[in-house]
Structure 1
Amino acid sequence: MAVVSGTFRMVSEEEQALRAKLEHLTVKDHGPVFRPCDQIPDHTVQKAKDELNETDEKRVSAVKELRGIIKEKADSGDDLAKGVQDTFGDNPDSVLVRFIRARKYEVNRAYELMKGYAGYPGILSSRDKYGRVVLLFNIENWDYEEITFDEILRAYCVILEKLLQNEETQINGFCIIENFKGFTMQQASGIKPTELKKMVDMLQDSFPARFKAVHFIHQPWYFTTTYNVVKPLMKSKLLERVFVHGDELENYFKEFDAEILPSDFDGKGPKYDGKVTATQLFD
Protein backbone atom coordinates (compact mmCIF):
# COMPACT_ATOMS: atom_id res chain seq x y z
CA MET A 1 0.00 0.00 0.00
CA ALA A 2 1.41 3.39 -1.06
CA VAL A 3 2.03 5.99 1.60
CA VAL A 4 1.04 9.54 0.63
CA SER A 5 3.01 12.31 2.28
CA GLY A 6 2.75 16.09 2.06
CA THR A 7 1.11 19.12 3.58
CA PHE A 8 -2.67 19.25 3.75
CA ARG A 9 -4.93 22.16 4.58
CA MET A 10 -8.45 21.83 5.90
CA VAL A 11 -10.92 23.63 3.63
CA SER A 12 -13.78 25.29 5.49
CA GLU A 13 -17.39 24.84 4.47
CA GLU A 14 -17.53 28.56 3.63
CA GLU A 15 -14.58 28.22 1.25
CA GLN A 16 -16.14 25.16 -0.38
CA ALA A 17 -19.37 27.09 -0.87
CA LEU A 18 -17.55 30.03 -2.49
CA ARG A 19 -15.72 27.71 -4.87
CA ALA A 20 -19.00 26.11 -5.80
CA LYS A 21 -20.50 29.54 -6.44
CA LEU A 22 -17.65 30.40 -8.82
CA GLU A 23 -18.99 27.73 -11.16
CA HIS A 24 -22.50 29.22 -11.28
CA LEU A 25 -22.06 32.98 -11.43
CA THR A 26 -24.29 35.39 -13.34
CA VAL A 27 -23.71 38.98 -14.47
CA LYS A 28 -25.53 40.17 -11.35
CA ASP A 29 -22.87 38.68 -9.09
CA HIS A 30 -20.22 41.22 -10.11
CA GLY A 31 -19.45 44.84 -9.33
CA PRO A 32 -19.25 47.95 -11.56
CA VAL A 33 -16.90 48.41 -14.50
CA PHE A 34 -16.42 52.19 -14.56
CA ARG A 35 -15.77 53.01 -10.92
CA PRO A 36 -13.90 51.37 -8.05
CA CYS A 37 -15.85 48.65 -6.28
CA ASP A 38 -16.82 49.50 -2.72
CA GLN A 39 -16.06 45.96 -1.62
CA ILE A 40 -14.67 42.96 -3.49
CA PRO A 41 -17.34 40.22 -3.65
CA ASP A 42 -16.58 37.19 -1.49
CA HIS A 43 -16.39 34.88 -4.50
CA THR A 44 -13.81 37.19 -6.13
CA VAL A 45 -11.76 37.19 -2.93
CA GLN A 46 -11.83 33.40 -3.17
CA LYS A 47 -10.71 33.55 -6.81
CA ALA A 48 -7.75 35.74 -5.78
CA LYS A 49 -6.89 33.16 -3.17
CA ASP A 50 -7.14 30.24 -5.62
CA GLU A 51 -5.51 31.83 -8.69
CA LEU A 52 -3.06 34.28 -7.12
CA ASN A 53 -2.48 32.68 -3.71
CA GLU A 54 -3.56 36.03 -2.26
CA THR A 55 -4.32 36.51 1.41
CA ASP A 56 -4.45 39.69 3.50
CA GLU A 57 -1.14 38.80 5.09
CA LYS A 58 0.54 37.97 1.80
CA ARG A 59 -0.72 41.19 0.21
CA VAL A 60 0.78 43.32 3.01
CA SER A 61 4.04 41.37 2.85
CA ALA A 62 4.30 41.63 -0.96
CA VAL A 63 3.71 45.39 -0.96
CA LYS A 64 6.38 45.84 1.71
CA GLU A 65 8.80 43.70 -0.30
CA LEU A 66 8.06 45.61 -3.50
CA ARG A 67 8.63 48.98 -1.82
CA GLY A 68 11.96 47.64 -0.56
CA ILE A 69 12.98 46.59 -4.08
CA ILE A 70 11.95 49.98 -5.49
CA LYS A 71 14.15 51.78 -2.94
CA GLU A 72 17.08 49.39 -3.27
CA LYS A 73 17.15 49.61 -7.07
CA ALA A 74 16.80 53.41 -7.03
CA ASP A 75 19.67 53.72 -4.53
CA SER A 76 21.91 51.88 -7.02
CA GLY A 77 21.84 55.00 -9.21
CA ASP A 78 20.21 53.50 -12.31
CA ASP A 79 18.15 56.16 -14.14
CA LEU A 80 15.24 53.89 -14.98
CA ALA A 81 15.12 52.58 -11.40
CA LYS A 82 14.95 56.17 -10.16
CA GLY A 83 12.11 56.71 -12.61
CA VAL A 84 10.24 53.78 -11.08
CA GLN A 85 10.72 55.26 -7.61
CA ASP A 86 9.58 58.71 -8.71
CA THR A 87 6.56 57.27 -10.51
CA PHE A 88 5.40 54.75 -7.92
CA GLY A 89 7.33 55.31 -4.67
CA ASP A 90 4.73 57.57 -3.05
CA ASN A 91 1.70 55.83 -4.54
CA PRO A 92 -0.78 54.12 -2.19
CA ASP A 93 -0.54 50.38 -1.65
CA SER A 94 -3.52 49.81 -3.95
CA VAL A 95 -1.48 50.95 -6.98
CA LEU A 96 1.38 48.57 -6.17
CA VAL A 97 -1.09 45.72 -5.68
CA ARG A 98 -2.18 46.10 -9.34
CA PHE A 99 1.32 45.17 -10.47
CA ILE A 100 1.69 42.41 -7.88
CA ARG A 101 -1.56 40.76 -8.97
CA ALA A 102 -0.63 41.09 -12.64
CA ARG A 103 2.43 38.96 -11.90
CA LYS A 104 0.71 36.52 -9.54
CA TYR A 105 2.62 37.71 -6.47
CA GLU A 106 6.05 37.19 -8.03
CA VAL A 107 7.34 40.46 -6.61
CA ASN A 108 10.52 40.72 -8.66
CA ARG A 109 8.49 40.30 -11.85
CA ALA A 110 6.03 42.93 -10.58
CA TYR A 111 8.97 45.32 -10.31
CA GLU A 112 10.07 44.52 -13.88
CA LEU A 113 6.55 45.35 -15.03
CA MET A 114 6.80 48.70 -13.24
CA LYS A 115 10.01 49.38 -15.15
CA GLY A 116 8.04 48.87 -18.32
CA TYR A 117 5.50 51.48 -17.34
CA ALA A 118 8.10 53.95 -16.12
CA GLY A 119 10.49 53.47 -19.02
CA TYR A 120 8.27 53.14 -22.09
CA PRO A 121 7.89 55.40 -23.86
CA GLY A 122 10.25 58.26 -23.12
CA ILE A 123 9.02 61.80 -23.65
CA LEU A 124 11.05 64.83 -24.68
CA SER A 125 10.57 67.71 -22.28
CA SER A 126 10.53 70.12 -25.25
CA ARG A 127 8.09 70.07 -28.16
CA ASP A 128 9.51 69.86 -31.68
CA LYS A 129 9.35 72.79 -34.11
CA TYR A 130 5.82 71.81 -35.14
CA GLY A 131 4.59 71.88 -31.55
CA ARG A 132 4.29 68.09 -31.38
CA VAL A 133 5.09 66.01 -28.31
CA VAL A 134 7.99 63.68 -29.15
CA LEU A 135 7.78 60.12 -27.80
CA LEU A 136 10.99 58.08 -27.61
CA PHE A 137 11.42 54.33 -27.65
CA ASN A 138 14.86 52.76 -27.33
CA ILE A 139 14.40 49.12 -28.20
CA GLU A 140 17.81 48.20 -26.77
CA ASN A 141 16.32 48.70 -23.29
CA TRP A 142 13.42 46.31 -23.93
CA ASP A 143 13.62 42.99 -22.08
CA TYR A 144 10.98 41.08 -24.04
CA GLU A 145 10.98 38.19 -21.56
CA GLU A 146 9.81 40.49 -18.75
CA ILE A 147 7.82 43.18 -20.57
CA THR A 148 5.57 41.97 -23.37
CA PHE A 149 4.99 44.09 -26.45
CA ASP A 150 1.34 44.26 -25.42
CA GLU A 151 2.34 45.75 -22.06
CA ILE A 152 4.43 48.38 -23.83
CA LEU A 153 1.37 49.38 -25.85
CA ARG A 154 -0.61 49.67 -22.61
CA ALA A 155 2.10 51.90 -21.17
CA TYR A 156 1.82 54.10 -24.25
CA CYS A 157 -1.94 54.39 -23.70
CA VAL A 158 -1.57 55.39 -20.04
CA ILE A 159 0.98 58.08 -20.89
CA LEU A 160 -0.90 59.34 -23.95
CA GLU A 161 -4.07 59.79 -21.90
CA LYS A 162 -2.12 61.88 -19.41
CA LEU A 163 -0.51 64.01 -22.13
CA LEU A 164 -3.81 64.55 -23.94
CA GLN A 165 -5.09 66.58 -21.00
CA ASN A 166 -3.14 69.40 -22.68
CA GLU A 167 -5.20 71.04 -25.45
CA GLU A 168 -2.12 72.20 -27.35
CA THR A 169 -1.11 68.54 -27.59
CA GLN A 170 -4.60 67.58 -28.78
CA ILE A 171 -4.17 70.01 -31.67
CA ASN A 172 -0.48 69.56 -32.58
CA GLY A 173 -0.34 65.83 -31.96
CA PHE A 174 2.54 63.43 -31.42
CA CYS A 175 5.49 62.04 -33.29
CA ILE A 176 7.43 58.92 -32.35
CA ILE A 177 11.15 58.19 -32.65
CA GLU A 178 12.09 54.51 -32.37
CA ASN A 179 15.78 53.70 -32.05
CA PHE A 180 16.35 50.14 -33.26
CA LYS A 181 20.06 49.99 -32.46
CA GLY A 182 20.55 46.74 -30.58
CA PHE A 183 17.32 45.20 -31.92
CA THR A 184 17.89 41.43 -31.75
CA MET A 185 16.42 38.60 -33.80
CA GLN A 186 15.01 37.22 -30.55
CA GLN A 187 13.13 40.47 -29.98
CA ALA A 188 11.88 40.44 -33.57
CA SER A 189 10.59 36.87 -33.25
CA GLY A 190 8.95 37.72 -29.91
CA ILE A 191 6.54 40.22 -31.47
CA LYS A 192 3.32 38.55 -32.60
CA PRO A 193 1.44 39.73 -35.73
CA THR A 194 -1.64 40.33 -33.56
CA GLU A 195 0.38 42.70 -31.36
CA LEU A 196 1.68 44.57 -34.39
CA LYS A 197 -1.90 44.95 -35.58
CA LYS A 198 -2.84 46.45 -32.20
CA MET A 199 -0.04 48.98 -32.60
CA VAL A 200 -1.23 49.98 -36.07
CA ASP A 201 -4.84 50.20 -34.88
CA MET A 202 -3.76 52.51 -32.06
CA LEU A 203 -1.89 54.76 -34.47
CA GLN A 204 -4.63 55.11 -37.05
CA ASP A 205 -8.02 53.99 -35.78
CA SER A 206 -8.58 53.47 -32.09
CA PHE A 207 -6.94 56.20 -30.00
CA PRO A 208 -8.04 59.86 -29.81
CA ALA A 209 -4.65 61.31 -30.65
CA ARG A 210 -3.07 62.81 -33.75
CA PHE A 211 0.00 60.78 -34.71
CA LYS A 212 1.83 63.00 -37.18
CA ALA A 213 5.02 61.01 -37.82
CA VAL A 214 6.92 57.84 -36.91
CA HIS A 215 10.71 57.81 -37.38
CA PHE A 216 12.84 54.64 -37.27
CA ILE A 217 16.60 54.97 -36.83
CA HIS A 218 19.49 52.47 -36.78
CA GLN A 219 17.33 49.49 -37.73
CA PRO A 220 19.18 46.25 -38.71
CA TRP A 221 18.49 44.41 -41.97
CA TYR A 222 16.00 41.98 -40.39
CA PHE A 223 13.82 44.89 -39.26
CA THR A 224 12.40 44.67 -42.80
CA THR A 225 10.71 41.37 -41.94
CA THR A 226 8.82 42.94 -39.04
CA TYR A 227 7.99 46.07 -41.03
CA ASN A 228 6.65 44.02 -43.97
CA VAL A 229 4.12 42.42 -41.61
CA VAL A 230 2.88 45.87 -40.59
CA LYS A 231 2.83 47.68 -43.95
CA PRO A 232 -0.27 45.97 -45.43
CA LEU A 233 -2.23 46.98 -42.31
CA MET A 234 -1.40 50.67 -42.70
CA LYS A 235 -3.58 53.14 -44.52
CA SER A 236 -1.88 55.35 -47.12
CA LYS A 237 -2.09 58.38 -44.82
CA LEU A 238 -0.11 56.64 -42.07
CA LEU A 239 2.36 55.13 -44.56
CA GLU A 240 3.19 58.64 -45.74
CA ARG A 241 4.05 59.55 -42.14
CA VAL A 242 6.52 56.71 -41.57
CA PHE A 243 10.19 57.50 -42.15
CA VAL A 244 12.84 54.75 -42.12
CA HIS A 245 16.26 56.40 -41.76
CA GLY A 246 18.66 53.60 -40.87
CA ASP A 247 22.07 55.11 -40.17
CA GLU A 248 21.63 57.93 -42.69
CA LEU A 249 20.34 60.71 -40.44
CA GLU A 250 20.53 63.79 -42.65
CA ASN A 251 16.74 63.96 -43.14
CA TYR A 252 16.19 62.99 -39.50
CA PHE A 253 18.02 66.13 -38.38
CA LYS A 254 15.98 68.22 -40.79
CA GLU A 255 12.95 67.22 -38.74
CA PHE A 256 14.45 67.35 -35.24
CA ASP A 257 16.78 69.89 -33.72
CA ALA A 258 19.80 67.99 -32.40
CA GLU A 259 19.87 70.36 -29.43
CA ILE A 260 16.63 68.92 -28.00
CA LEU A 261 17.46 65.26 -28.67
CA PRO A 262 19.20 63.11 -26.03
CA SER A 263 22.54 61.55 -26.90
CA ASP A 264 21.05 58.04 -27.11
CA PHE A 265 18.87 59.36 -29.96
CA ASP A 266 21.87 60.93 -31.73
CA GLY A 267 21.28 64.37 -30.27
CA LYS A 268 23.52 66.83 -28.48
CA GLY A 269 21.70 66.65 -25.16
CA PRO A 270 22.52 64.35 -22.24
CA LYS A 271 21.32 60.76 -22.22
CA TYR A 272 17.56 60.45 -21.77
CA ASP A 273 16.59 60.67 -18.07
CA GLY A 274 13.38 58.79 -17.35
CA LYS A 275 13.37 60.09 -13.77
CA VAL A 276 12.90 63.69 -14.88
CA THR A 277 10.06 62.73 -17.21
CA ALA A 278 8.31 60.63 -14.58
CA THR A 279 8.46 63.50 -12.10
CA GLN A 280 6.97 65.95 -14.61
CA LEU A 281 4.32 63.53 -15.83
CA PHE A 282 2.98 62.09 -12.58
CA ASP A 283 3.54 64.81 -9.98
Structure 2
Amino acid sequence: MQEYAEYADLWRQAGRPPAEGEPDPDPVTGAEEAVRRLRTLTHTRPDVVYLDTSDEYLLRFLRARKMRVSAAFELLTGCTLYRRDNPLLFGSFNAHSPPVRAALRDGFPGVLEQRDGRGRTVLLVFAAGWDPDRYPLTAIYRAILLTLDRLIEDVENQISGFVMVVDFSQFSLRQSKSVSPKMLRLMVNGLQDCYPARFGGVHFVSQPWYVEAMLSVIRPFLKEKVKDKIYTHGNNPLYVRQIYTHGNNLSALYHHVSRRILPAELGGDGPAHDTQRWADLMIRGPS
Protein backbone atom coordinates (compact mmCIF):
# COMPACT_ATOMS: atom_id res chain seq x y z
CA MET A 1 0.00 0.00 0.00
CA GLN A 2 2.81 2.41 0.82
CA GLU A 3 4.40 1.74 -2.57
CA TYR A 4 1.11 2.48 -4.34
CA ALA A 5 0.55 5.65 -2.32
CA GLU A 6 3.97 6.94 -3.40
CA TYR A 7 3.32 5.96 -7.01
CA ALA A 8 -0.10 7.61 -7.10
CA ASP A 9 1.23 10.76 -5.46
CA LEU A 10 3.95 11.13 -8.08
CA TRP A 11 1.43 10.72 -10.89
CA ARG A 12 -0.87 13.22 -9.21
CA GLN A 13 1.87 15.83 -9.09
CA ALA A 14 2.63 15.23 -12.74
CA GLY A 15 -0.99 15.47 -13.78
CA ARG A 16 -0.93 12.01 -15.34
CA PRO A 17 -3.33 9.09 -14.72
CA PRO A 18 -2.41 5.96 -12.75
CA ALA A 19 -2.37 2.55 -14.37
CA GLU A 20 -5.63 1.05 -15.59
CA GLY A 21 -7.64 -0.48 -12.77
CA GLU A 22 -6.10 1.68 -10.06
CA PRO A 23 -8.27 4.22 -8.22
CA ASP A 24 -8.04 7.81 -9.43
CA PRO A 25 -5.68 9.91 -7.30
CA ASP A 26 -6.57 13.45 -6.29
CA PRO A 27 -6.19 16.14 -8.96
CA VAL A 28 -2.94 18.08 -9.31
CA THR A 29 -2.55 20.45 -6.35
CA GLY A 30 1.03 21.63 -5.96
CA ALA A 31 3.24 21.38 -9.04
CA GLU A 32 2.86 25.01 -10.15
CA GLU A 33 3.64 26.36 -6.69
CA ALA A 34 6.59 23.97 -6.33
CA VAL A 35 8.07 25.22 -9.61
CA ARG A 36 7.61 28.83 -8.53
CA ARG A 37 9.37 28.20 -5.21
CA LEU A 38 12.20 26.30 -6.85
CA ARG A 39 12.78 29.06 -9.39
CA THR A 40 12.82 31.62 -6.56
CA LEU A 41 15.49 29.61 -4.74
CA THR A 42 17.81 29.88 -7.74
CA HIS A 43 18.08 33.62 -7.02
CA THR A 44 19.69 32.81 -3.65
CA ARG A 45 22.79 31.46 -5.43
CA PRO A 46 24.17 34.31 -7.56
CA ASP A 47 27.44 32.36 -7.79
CA VAL A 48 25.72 29.66 -9.85
CA VAL A 49 24.61 30.18 -13.45
CA TYR A 50 21.45 28.12 -13.91
CA LEU A 51 21.28 27.62 -17.66
CA ASP A 52 17.65 26.50 -17.73
CA THR A 53 14.87 27.51 -15.34
CA SER A 54 11.90 26.64 -17.53
CA ASP A 55 8.93 24.92 -15.92
CA GLU A 56 9.61 21.72 -17.86
CA TYR A 57 13.24 21.55 -16.77
CA LEU A 58 12.61 22.37 -13.11
CA LEU A 59 9.88 19.73 -12.93
CA ARG A 60 12.47 17.07 -13.75
CA PHE A 61 14.28 17.86 -10.50
CA LEU A 62 11.09 18.14 -8.48
CA ARG A 63 9.87 14.76 -9.70
CA ALA A 64 13.27 13.22 -8.99
CA ARG A 65 12.89 14.36 -5.38
CA LYS A 66 9.17 13.57 -5.02
CA MET A 67 8.21 17.25 -5.25
CA ARG A 68 10.31 18.28 -2.24
CA VAL A 69 11.45 21.78 -3.17
CA SER A 70 14.55 22.05 -0.97
CA ALA A 71 15.82 18.63 -2.07
CA ALA A 72 15.10 19.49 -5.71
CA PHE A 73 17.04 22.75 -5.33
CA GLU A 74 20.03 20.87 -3.91
CA LEU A 75 19.90 18.45 -6.83
CA LEU A 76 19.50 21.23 -9.42
CA THR A 77 22.46 23.12 -7.98
CA GLY A 78 24.56 19.95 -7.78
CA CYS A 79 23.78 19.12 -11.40
CA THR A 80 24.63 22.64 -12.58
CA LEU A 81 27.95 22.72 -10.71
CA TYR A 82 28.86 19.18 -11.77
CA ARG A 83 28.45 20.07 -15.42
CA ARG A 84 30.35 23.31 -14.96
CA ASP A 85 33.24 21.63 -13.14
CA ASN A 86 33.66 18.69 -15.54
CA PRO A 87 34.17 20.20 -19.01
CA LEU A 88 35.93 17.05 -20.23
CA LEU A 89 32.69 15.14 -19.68
CA PHE A 90 30.27 17.70 -21.03
CA GLY A 91 32.25 19.47 -23.74
CA SER A 92 31.00 18.41 -27.22
CA PHE A 93 28.36 16.44 -25.36
CA ASN A 94 26.67 14.46 -28.12
CA ALA A 95 26.39 10.96 -29.51
CA HIS A 96 28.52 11.78 -32.56
CA SER A 97 31.80 11.88 -30.64
CA PRO A 98 33.70 8.83 -32.01
CA PRO A 99 34.41 7.22 -28.59
CA VAL A 100 30.81 7.75 -27.44
CA ARG A 101 29.44 6.45 -30.72
CA ALA A 102 31.62 3.34 -30.39
CA ALA A 103 30.39 2.77 -26.83
CA LEU A 104 26.77 3.07 -27.94
CA ARG A 105 27.35 0.65 -30.81
CA ASP A 106 28.78 -1.84 -28.32
CA GLY A 107 25.62 -1.60 -26.22
CA PHE A 108 26.72 0.83 -23.52
CA PRO A 109 24.01 1.07 -22.47
CA GLY A 110 21.14 -0.90 -23.94
CA VAL A 111 17.53 0.00 -23.17
CA LEU A 112 14.75 -2.58 -23.08
CA GLU A 113 11.63 -1.75 -25.08
CA GLN A 114 9.33 -2.98 -22.30
CA ARG A 115 9.10 -1.42 -18.85
CA ASP A 116 9.19 -3.48 -15.68
CA GLY A 117 6.16 -4.16 -13.49
CA ARG A 118 6.52 -0.79 -11.76
CA GLY A 119 6.68 1.16 -14.98
CA ARG A 120 10.44 1.69 -14.80
CA THR A 121 12.69 1.75 -17.85
CA VAL A 122 15.36 -0.96 -17.74
CA LEU A 123 18.93 -0.20 -18.82
CA LEU A 124 21.29 -3.08 -19.65
CA VAL A 125 25.07 -3.24 -19.64
CA PHE A 126 27.04 -6.32 -20.74
CA ALA A 127 30.43 -5.36 -19.34
CA ALA A 128 32.51 -7.91 -21.25
CA GLY A 129 31.74 -6.07 -24.49
CA TRP A 130 34.02 -3.20 -23.51
CA ASP A 131 37.39 -2.98 -25.25
CA PRO A 132 39.50 -0.49 -23.23
CA ASP A 133 41.93 -0.22 -26.16
CA ARG A 134 39.21 1.35 -28.32
CA TYR A 135 37.65 3.81 -25.87
CA PRO A 136 37.96 4.64 -22.16
CA LEU A 137 35.42 4.24 -19.38
CA THR A 138 34.73 7.96 -19.74
CA ALA A 139 33.11 7.27 -23.12
CA ILE A 140 30.78 4.70 -21.55
CA TYR A 141 29.82 7.13 -18.80
CA ARG A 142 29.12 9.87 -21.34
CA ALA A 143 26.99 7.44 -23.37
CA ILE A 144 25.00 6.59 -20.23
CA LEU A 145 24.47 10.27 -19.40
CA LEU A 146 23.38 11.03 -22.96
CA THR A 147 20.99 8.09 -22.80
CA LEU A 148 19.53 9.36 -19.54
CA ASP A 149 19.20 12.84 -21.06
CA ARG A 150 17.15 11.36 -23.90
CA LEU A 151 15.03 9.14 -21.67
CA ILE A 152 14.34 11.82 -19.08
CA GLU A 153 12.51 13.85 -21.72
CA ASP A 154 9.66 11.38 -21.16
CA VAL A 155 7.55 12.43 -18.15
CA GLU A 156 6.81 8.78 -17.37
CA ASN A 157 10.53 8.14 -16.91
CA GLN A 158 10.83 11.19 -14.66
CA ILE A 159 8.14 9.75 -12.42
CA SER A 160 8.62 5.99 -12.54
CA GLY A 161 12.41 6.04 -12.82
CA PHE A 162 14.94 3.46 -13.94
CA VAL A 163 16.46 0.09 -13.14
CA MET A 164 19.91 -0.92 -14.35
CA VAL A 165 21.18 -4.48 -14.85
CA VAL A 166 24.94 -4.97 -15.31
CA ASP A 167 26.09 -8.42 -16.44
CA PHE A 168 29.75 -9.14 -15.66
CA SER A 169 29.88 -12.55 -17.38
CA GLN A 170 33.30 -12.95 -19.06
CA PHE A 171 34.45 -9.56 -17.76
CA SER A 172 38.20 -10.03 -17.39
CA LEU A 173 40.72 -8.96 -14.79
CA ARG A 174 42.53 -7.08 -17.57
CA GLN A 175 39.39 -5.08 -18.30
CA SER A 176 38.92 -4.30 -14.62
CA LYS A 177 42.43 -2.81 -14.47
CA SER A 178 41.25 -0.11 -16.89
CA VAL A 179 38.69 1.11 -14.35
CA SER A 180 40.26 3.89 -12.30
CA PRO A 181 38.99 4.62 -8.77
CA LYS A 182 38.95 8.33 -9.67
CA MET A 183 36.59 7.72 -12.58
CA LEU A 184 34.38 5.46 -10.48
CA ARG A 185 34.07 8.16 -7.86
CA LEU A 186 33.21 10.75 -10.51
CA MET A 187 30.48 8.47 -11.85
CA VAL A 188 29.07 7.75 -8.40
CA ASN A 189 29.02 11.43 -7.45
CA GLY A 190 27.35 12.37 -10.71
CA LEU A 191 24.60 9.79 -10.67
CA GLN A 192 23.70 10.03 -7.00
CA ASP A 193 23.91 13.82 -6.47
CA CYS A 194 23.85 15.52 -9.82
CA TYR A 195 21.31 13.90 -12.11
CA PRO A 196 17.49 14.19 -12.03
CA ALA A 197 16.75 10.50 -12.33
CA ARG A 198 15.16 8.08 -9.88
CA PHE A 199 16.99 4.74 -9.76
CA GLY A 200 14.92 1.98 -8.23
CA GLY A 201 17.84 -0.43 -8.22
CA VAL A 202 21.17 -1.39 -9.77
CA HIS A 203 21.64 -5.14 -10.23
CA PHE A 204 25.01 -6.82 -10.74
CA VAL A 205 25.02 -10.30 -12.29
CA SER A 206 27.88 -12.83 -12.48
CA GLN A 207 30.34 -10.47 -10.86
CA PRO A 208 33.83 -11.94 -10.19
CA TRP A 209 35.86 -11.20 -7.07
CA TYR A 210 37.67 -8.26 -8.66
CA VAL A 211 34.34 -6.57 -9.36
CA GLU A 212 33.45 -7.05 -5.70
CA ALA A 213 36.76 -5.32 -4.95
CA MET A 214 35.73 -2.39 -7.17
CA LEU A 215 32.45 -2.14 -5.29
CA SER A 216 34.35 -1.88 -2.03
CA VAL A 217 36.19 1.14 -3.48
CA ILE A 218 33.02 3.07 -4.29
CA ARG A 219 31.01 2.08 -1.24
CA PRO A 220 32.46 4.80 1.05
CA PHE A 221 31.28 7.45 -1.43
CA LEU A 222 27.69 6.22 -1.50
CA LYS A 223 25.13 8.12 0.51
CA GLU A 224 23.12 6.03 2.94
CA LYS A 225 19.98 6.49 0.86
CA VAL A 226 21.83 5.29 -2.23
CA LYS A 227 23.26 2.33 -0.35
CA ASP A 228 19.66 1.45 0.35
CA LYS A 229 19.22 0.99 -3.39
CA ILE A 230 22.11 -1.42 -3.98
CA TYR A 231 21.64 -5.15 -3.65
CA THR A 232 23.98 -8.09 -3.99
CA HIS A 233 22.85 -11.71 -4.26
CA GLY A 234 24.99 -14.79 -4.55
CA ASN A 235 26.87 -17.24 -2.39
CA ASN A 236 28.12 -14.38 -0.21
CA PRO A 237 25.47 -11.74 -0.77
CA LEU A 238 26.13 -8.14 0.09
CA TYR A 239 22.82 -6.49 0.83
CA VAL A 240 22.84 -2.75 0.48
CA ARG A 241 19.25 -2.04 -0.26
CA GLN A 242 19.14 -0.86 -3.89
CA ILE A 243 22.40 -2.08 -5.40
CA TYR A 244 22.12 -5.81 -5.87
CA THR A 245 24.83 -8.31 -6.72
CA HIS A 246 23.25 -11.59 -7.74
CA GLY A 247 26.35 -13.59 -8.63
CA ASN A 248 25.19 -16.43 -10.87
CA ASN A 249 21.82 -16.59 -9.14
CA LEU A 250 19.58 -15.27 -11.90
CA SER A 251 16.46 -16.37 -10.05
CA ALA A 252 17.25 -13.67 -7.49
CA LEU A 253 17.31 -11.10 -10.30
CA TYR A 254 13.89 -12.24 -11.47
CA HIS A 255 12.41 -11.25 -8.12
CA HIS A 256 13.18 -7.64 -9.06
CA VAL A 257 13.03 -7.58 -12.86
CA SER A 258 10.54 -9.88 -14.55
CA ARG A 259 12.02 -12.70 -16.59
CA ARG A 260 9.30 -11.96 -19.15
CA ILE A 261 10.97 -8.72 -20.31
CA LEU A 262 14.62 -9.78 -20.03
CA PRO A 263 16.67 -10.90 -23.05
CA ALA A 264 17.86 -14.45 -23.63
CA GLU A 265 21.38 -13.61 -22.41
CA LEU A 266 19.94 -13.17 -18.92
CA GLY A 267 17.74 -16.25 -19.12
CA GLY A 268 14.74 -14.14 -20.02
CA ASP A 269 11.82 -14.95 -22.26
CA GLY A 270 12.76 -12.30 -24.80
CA PRO A 271 15.02 -12.66 -27.85
CA ALA A 272 18.75 -11.95 -27.80
CA HIS A 273 19.49 -8.37 -26.85
CA ASP A 274 19.70 -6.02 -29.83
CA THR A 275 22.45 -3.52 -29.04
CA GLN A 276 21.92 -1.57 -32.25
CA ARG A 277 18.30 -0.50 -31.72
CA TRP A 278 19.12 2.02 -29.00
CA ALA A 279 22.43 3.03 -30.59
CA ASP A 280 20.61 3.86 -33.83
CA LEU A 281 18.08 5.98 -31.97
CA MET A 282 20.81 7.90 -30.15
CA ILE A 283 23.07 8.40 -33.17
CA ARG A 284 20.52 8.94 -35.94
CA GLY A 285 17.75 10.37 -33.82
CA PRO A 286 14.09 9.26 -33.66
CA SER A 287 12.40 8.43 -36.95
TM-score by length of 1: 0.59
Give distance in 2, aligned partners of 1:114 and 1:267. 27
Matched residue of 2:123: which SS?
strand
Q: CA RMSD in A?
A: 1.9
Task: Look up the match of 1:260.
Answer: 261
Task: Look up the match of 1:152.
Answer: 140
Deviation at 1:188, TM superposition (A): 1.1
Give distance in 1, aligned partners of 2:257 and 2:281. 22
Deviation at 1:159, TM superposition (A): 0.9
Task: Look up the match of 2:91.
Answer: none
TM-aligned CA distance change 1:237 to 1:259, over 3 Å: same
Task: Look up the match of 2:156.
Answer: 168
Task: Look up the match of 2:278.
Answer: 277
Task: Look up the match of 2:213.
Answer: 225
**Number of residue pairs the alignment of both structures matches:** 178
Deviation at 1:180, TM superposition (A): 0.5
Give distance in 2, aligned partners of 1:191 and 1:222. 11
Whether the 8 Å CA contact 1:215–1:244 is kept in 2: the answer is yes
Task: Look up the match of 1:247.
Answer: 248
Give distance in 2, aligned partners of 1:280 and 1:189. 31
Rg comparison, structure with higher value? 1
Deviation at 1:269, TM superposition (A): 1.2
Task: Look up the match of 2:118.
Answer: 130
Give distance in 2, aligned partners of 1:125 and 1:260. 8
2:180 to 192, 201, 220: 192
Task: Look up the match of 1:209.
Answer: 197
Tell me which moved more, 270-279 or 245-254: 270-279
Whether the 8 Å CA contact 1:216–1:244 is kept in 2: the answer is yes
Deviation at 1:162, TM superposition (A): 0.6
Give distance in 1, aligned partners of 2:114 and 2:182. 33
Task: Look up the match of 1:19.
Answer: none
TM-aligned CA distance change 1:113 to 1:168, over 3 Å: closer
Deviation at 1:198, TM superposition (A): 1.5
Deviation at 1:161, TM superposition (A): 0.5
TM-score by length of 2: 0.58
Whether the 8 Å CA contact 1:203–1:211 is kept in 2: the answer is no
Deviations 1:47-101 (A, max 9, x none): xxxxxxxxxxxxxxxxxxxxxxxxxxxxxxxxxxxxxxxxxxxxxxxx89x63xx
Matched residue of 1:130: which SS?
coil
Matched residue of 1:255: which SS?
coil
Matched residue of 2:149: which SS?
helix
Deviations 1:24-46 (A, max 9, x none): xxxxxxxxxx8xxxxxxxxxxxx
Deviation at 1:212, TM superposition (A): 1.5
1:183 to 171, 177, 180: 171
Where does 1:82-93 land on structure 2 (aligned, <5 Å)? none
Deviation at 1:279, TM superposition (A): 4.5
Give distance in 1, aligned partners of 2:100 and 2:115. 28
Q: Are 1:141 and 2:129 matched, yes or no? A: yes
TM-aligned CA distance change 1:113 to 1:154, over 3 Å: closer
Give distance in 2, aligned partners of 1:260 and 1:229. 32
Tell me which moved more, 188-197 or 260-269: 260-269
Give distance in 1, aligned partners of 2:164 and 2:100. 22
TM-aligned CA distance change 1:114 to 1:278, over 3 Å: closer
- Kindly, what percent of the aligned residue pairs are identical? 33
1:116 to 103, 111, 115: 103
Moved over 6 A (4+): none
Task: Look up the match of 1:53.
Answer: none
TM-aligned CA distance change 1:275 to 1:239, over 3 Å: same
Task: Look up the match of 2:19.
Answer: none
Whether the 8 Å CA contact 1:113–1:146 is kept in 2: the answer is no
Matched residue of 1:151: which SS?
helix
